[in-house]
Amino acid sequence: GQQVMQIPQYQHVQEGEDFTTYCNSSTTLSNIQWYKQRPGGHPVFLIQLVKSGEVKKQKRLTFQFGEAKKNSSLHITATQTTDVGTYFCAGPSGNEKLTFGTGTRLTIIP
Amino acid sequence: KAGVTQTPRYLIKTRGQQVTLSCSPISGHRSVSWYQQTPGQGLQFLFEYFSETQRNKGNFPGRFSGRQFSNSRSEMNVSTLELGDSALYLCASSFQGGGTGELFFGEGSRLTVL
């Protein structure tokens, strides 16, 4: 079945440093979604990318969808303590089942 | 508008028992998906219901079942509980479902099996 892997699994950064998480799917995706889950919370939708090579920005967050629509990345510029949490990518398989990536847990060192 | 509501929020059961979890989606959303979240396995898809029909099912044993009512509220049931069923069960609603469009998650039901 479809597998969606994310690297790294954990990332510790100093406040103010940049952060990037990478998402790779074993199959081509019709779209890629990104979610953030704060500690003790539930996943919250960040964005959906649909087009090959698409790049979208939300303030300090930049999302990219690969040309082959099998990979994606999330980059955070100048991290802040509010960025703490686990970031998940998610993409639908051929039968439209939304599969979540393994997640990247970001911790910020003040 | 009100968000996704899951009940109960916390529950403790013993092995062999069964449990029913409830999810009320956002008004107007016809798709409800269920996910199991554990530290080791991440977010695992259980099933999706759309307009009272199961649209998709994940790779879980038959002990895990669900249903959706005409008002889009959904329930999931786990029978013959095992220790490994301890997890956070998340319900998510969406307008379209089928892997497209934003999922709105509830706070989850945290199940502990002793």
State whether B43 and A43 contact (CB < 8 Å).
yes
For the segment B66-108, what is each residue's pLDDT rounded down to a tens digit?
Answer: 999 999 999 999 999 999 999 999 999 999 888 888 999 999 9
Identity of residue A17? E
Is the pLDDT at A95 greater than 90, yes or no?
no
CA A41 to chain centre: 17
DSSP code string of A50-75 = -STT-EEEETTEEEEE-TTSSEEEEE
Of residues B64 and B101, more confidently modeled:
B64
pLDDT at position B81, please?
98
3-state secondary structure B33-72: EEEEEECCCEEEEEEEEECCEEEEECCCCCCEEEEECCCC
Q: Which residue of A has its CA nearest to B59?
A: A1
User: DSSP secondary-structure letter at B25?
Assistant: P
Q: Which residue of B has its CA nearest to A29?
A: B99
Q: Is the pLDDT of residue B65 over 70?
A: yes
Average pLDDT over residues A66-79: 97
For residue A69, is pLDDT > 80?
yes
Q: With an 8 Å Cβ cutoff, are A43 and B90 in contact?
A: yes
Q: Categorize the per-residue pLDDT at A91 as very low, low, confident or very high, splitting at 50, 70 and 90.
A: very high
Residue A22 has pLDDT above 80, yes or no: yes
- Cβ atoms of residues A30 and A96 within 8 Å: no
A90-100: average pLDDT: 85
Query: Cβ of B98 under 8 Å from any chain A Cβ?
Result: yes
Q: CA A61 → CA A46, A48, A69, A71, B68, distances in Å?
A: 10, 13, 20, 17, 37
pLDDT at A62: 98
For A12-25, what is the mean pLDDT?
A: 97
Tokens of A46: 């960040």
Averaged pLDDT of chain A: 95
- Average confidence (pLDDT) over A55-71: 97
**Interface contact B107, partner A, CB < 8 A:** yes
A20 within 8 A of A73, measured Cβ to Cβ: yes
The topology (CATH level 3) of A4-109 is: Immunoglobulin-like (2.60.40)
Residue B33's pLDDT is 97
Residue B40 in this model has a pLDDT that exceeds 90: no
Closest CA to B91 of B51, B54, B40, B37: B37
Rg of chain A on CA atoms, in Å: 13
* B2 vs A: CB within 8 A: no
> CA nearest B98 in A: which residue?
A96
Query: For chain B, what percent of residues have pLDDT higher than 70?
Result: 99
Mean pLDDT along residues B35-44: 90
Give the per-residue pLDDT at B1: 65
| Model confidence at A1: pLDDT above 80 | no
Distance of CA B24 to the CA centre of its chain: 10
Rounded to a whole number of angstroms, the distance from the CA of B14 to the nearest CA of chain A is 24
Task: Output the CA torsion B113→A85→A65→A56 (10° steps).
Answer: 140
